[in-house]
A = this chain, B = another copy of it.
């Protein structure tokens, strides 16, 4: 199926390897015309669910950050991978990956431990069997320099740091009140040693992150009751097996550290469902102690079960305590505090961090259908690249003209749609289905008589007839889940 999706992706423009005419560079992909529309929709659903409905501040920061930020955050020192070079052919490996290629487990080993294994086992370059260099630390940030006086800077490895350093301004804009929730959608960069796995491990990727600042004693949420009874599949750090438990009970039993963290875990679950991931493919895995940053109070990954890559992390939701604000306060010499009525305290922060490209992959993989007879992407209408495609039944002038009118009408209502007259109606349906167009609208001879028109639903291929006057409104209601197709 992986190769089928890759074929579809190239042919129809979901995603394309970057710089292909120049031989490419691994870890970089372009979203093509269909992929970009789908990605925009994912981001719009996220923006609506979190920025609008959770009342967050959205900001948009530079991708470039000056060095100080990442010295403070620890990235300049600790955001490294161990690399090793072949002295003969010059090939570079991630040391732990090289060792694992020889069938030896490396989880949580230090550079010293890894070096020891390589010496002891006399490991060699995989391609040419040449002798290997010593292991070095390789920083995963892309470095660059600002201005003619060459001030050192990095491409941000996450969008989050730019939120932390703006804390005082944002706190003031929020009229010096907590909670203060801040969101950012944007690119982030990690200079991976040898990225594979298409959209799953990119050197440039899209994140949607939230930093939700609260007083340390107030890790609650006023709308907790709205999500308290949602049942989640959890894999706590101490357990072998997944458990199914309500959000409320998970907090009461001390499985999830606090209500606020649990609140965002539940909203994350809802989001993944809203973009089309089935609940049985979603679980939340708690980080084990050794995985967790030392300062993190509790941390959970939303994982999605994929065919291509088994369970993969798509969202991380962490209670990061006061670590980040404290670090930037120390480095900058500026107070980063909030006033709780009695004393100025450093807020704690809960951070849900979404990997948009991974979510995109999961959506496409989940939606892909090929039953031999018919290929289609079973995308939810809010995610479909086009909500509608508009056709004339036959390529007769009067039908083409009518279908053009309908097309213009939908465009003016800001409904993403396209018009297609090429080939037979069957071919046009097939082309629309393949990229997941939600509804096909066909003008036929009856349309010329009474202004009624057919809507065909992609998944069932069933058709209904509605009046052109109501068409735009019906499509929007179908998209927003306010009416169901079979009730038309």
Contacts and interface: CB of A to CB of B under 8 A. Distances in A.
A63 B193 CA distance: 19
A22 interface: yes
A61 interface: yes
A65 interface: yes
Interface string A1-37: 0000000001111001011111001011111110111
Interface in A392-423: 411, 414, 416-419, 422
A36 B63 contact: no
B173 A69 contact: no
A62 B162 contact: no
Instruction: Tell me which of A30, A148, A334 has the highest count of chain B C-beta atoms within 10 A of its own C-beta.
Output: A148
B147 A422 contact: no
A129 interface: no
Contact of A30 (B33, B55, B162, B336): B162
A297 B375 CA distance: 45
Contacts of A187: 63, 187
A175 interface: yes
A287 interface: no
Interface stretch (A116-124, A137-145, A208-216, A242-250): A137-145
Interface in A261-300: none
A48 interface: yes
B64 A189 contact: yes
Contacts of A148: 83, 85, 92, 138, 193
A369 to B, nearest CB: 21
Interface residues of A, number: 87
A207 to B, nearest CB: 14
A149 interface: yes
Interface in A27-68: 27-33, 35-37, 39-40, 47-48, 52-53, 55, 57-66, 68
B169 A10 contact: yes
A61 B30 contact: yes
Instruction: Tell me which of A53, A149, A173, A193 has the highest count of chain B C-beta atoms within 10 A of its own C-beta.
Output: A173
Interface string A84-107: 010000101000000000000000
A191 interface: yes
Contacts of A332: 21-22
A58 B61 CA distance: 23
A30 B60 contact: yes
Contact of A21 (B142, B153, B165): B165
A112 interface: no
A165 B92 contact: no
Contact of A411 (B33, B52, B68, B144): B52
Nearest to A17: B169
Contact of A204 (B53, B64, B147): B64
A318 interface: no
Contacts of A192: 147
A90 to B, nearest CB: 7
Interface string A329-346: 001101010000000000
Contacts of A204: 62-64
A146 B25 contact: yes
Contacts of A168: 21
A19 B92 CA distance: 35
A198 to B, nearest CB: 14
B48 A31 contact: no
Given A142-B144, A147-B92, A148-B83, A62 B18 contact: yes
A169 B16 contact: yes
Contact of A418 (B32, B55, B69, B417): B55
Nearest to A12: B173
A483 interface: no
B19 A65 contact: yes
A170 interface: yes
B58 A37 contact: yes
Nearest to A205: B62
Contacts of A18: 61-62, 162
Interface string A164-190: 011011101101000000100001010
A149 B31 CA distance: 26
A166 B16 contact: yes
B52 A416 contact: yes
Contact of A203 (B16, B146, B169, B422): B146
7 contacts: A11-B173, A21-B334, A31-B61, A32-B169, A33-B182, A143-B144, A146-B191
Given A64-B189, A92-B148, A147-B193, 6 more contacts: A20-B166, A22-B332, A37-B58, A53-B411, A92-B147, A147-B194
